[in-house]
Amino acid sequence: MSEYKKFSQELCDENDQVAKEVAVDYLQWTGHYKLDTPLSEQEELYKKQDFEITLISKSKKVTIEVERKKVWTKMCAWQGWPTIDVPARKNESEADLFIMVNKDCNTIAVTTMKNVLESKVSSKKTIYTESEDFFNVELNKFKFYCKNEGFWKKI
């Protein structure tokens, strides 16, 4: 039987805001997005999305789900696992894009939330749970970027 990691305010405080800021920094750096409403003024839509940003070319709001993966310790490279495992508790997300941020907040993996939700699911033991379900998203579904000396580059 699968279980979900219990919500921890301490972990949220440690990871949520910084991951959102990294995602916004990357998205605005592309020149395709702009943040119309500061993160601090956006309502947290628990389980639905983390924030929204405007796709400039279409004047359209795009919703983002972001997660910091602290066991991803490599900089400018994927950690080496065969898939990117996204907690199945994200199955209620209505976001357009999913962005995974590494421990040091300098490397990211970007894909559509649709790619996440359509991936196969498996269960594994974590430091928080005995048996938690994860979407096992294939690496080729992601684009990886690294921030070095103030600039993001594709890796």
Task: Give the tens place of pLDDT for each residue, 43-88.
Answer: 878 789 999 999 999 999 999 999 999 999 999 999 999 999 999 9
Distance, CA of 111 to CA of 144 (rounded, Å)? 9
Q: Is residue 2 part of a domain?
A: no
Q: Tokens 């559509």 — which residue? A: 112
Q: Is residue 114 part of a domain?
A: yes
Average pLDDT, rounded, for the chain: 92
Q: Is residue 52 part of a domain?
A: yes
The answer on pLDDT for 136 being more than 80 is yes
Domain housing 119: 9-154
Q: Can you tell me the mean pLDDT for 102-127?
A: 95
Q: Is residue 3 part of a domain?
A: no
Could you write out the three-class secondary structure of 14-66? HHHHHHHHHHHHHHHHCCCEECCCCHHHCCCECCCECEEEEEHHHCEEEEEEE
Q: Is residue 21 part of a domain?
A: yes
Task: Give the tens place of pLDDT for each residue, 105-116.
Answer: 999 999 999 999
Q: Is residue 98 part of a domain?
A: yes
Look at residue 8 in the predicted model and tell me its pLDDT. Answer: 67
Q: Can you tell me the mean pLDDT for 96-108?
A: 98
State the pTM of this model: 0.92
Q: Is residue 64 part of a domain?
A: yes
Distance, CA of 5 to CA of 48 (rounded, Å)? 17
Q: Is residue 1 part of a domain?
A: no
The answer on pLDDT for 129 being more than 60 is yes
- What total of structural domains would you count in the chain? 1
Look at residue 78 in the predicted model and tell me its pLDDT. Answer: 97
CB atoms within 10 A of CB 27: 24
